[in-house]
Amino acid sequence: MNKIRKLLQLSTAILIVSVALMSVLFSSAIQYSTAQDSEGTVVRDSQTVLLEGKTLPANDYIHLYDATPYMIKAGHVAAKLPCDSKSETSLKVLIGQAPNLKPADLELLKELSKPGAMCIYHVDVESTKQVNGTITDIALQNPTNKEVKFAPTATIVIGVDEIMPGAEEAGAMGNMSMGNSTG
Residue 109 neighbours by CB distance under 10 Å:
14
Q: Does some domain include residue 182?
A: no
Query: Is 144 found in the same domain as 69?
Result: yes
pTM for the structure as a whole: 0.71
Residues 6 or more apart whose Cβ sits within 8 Å of residue 5: none
Query: Is 11 found in the same domain as 69?
Result: no
pLDDT in tens, 157-170: 999 999 988 776 65
Q: Note down the domain range covering 1.
A: 1-39
Query: Is 71 found in the same domain as 35?
Result: no
CA–CA separation, 73 and 123 (whole Å): 14
Query: Is 84 found in the same domain as 99?
Result: yes
pLDDT at 182: 35
pLDDT in tens, 101-139: 999 999 999 999 999 999 999 999 998 765 568 899 999
Query: Is 163 found in the same domain as 80?
Result: yes
Query: Is 75 found in the same domain as 143?
Result: yes
Report whether 161 contacts 145 (CB < 8 A).
no
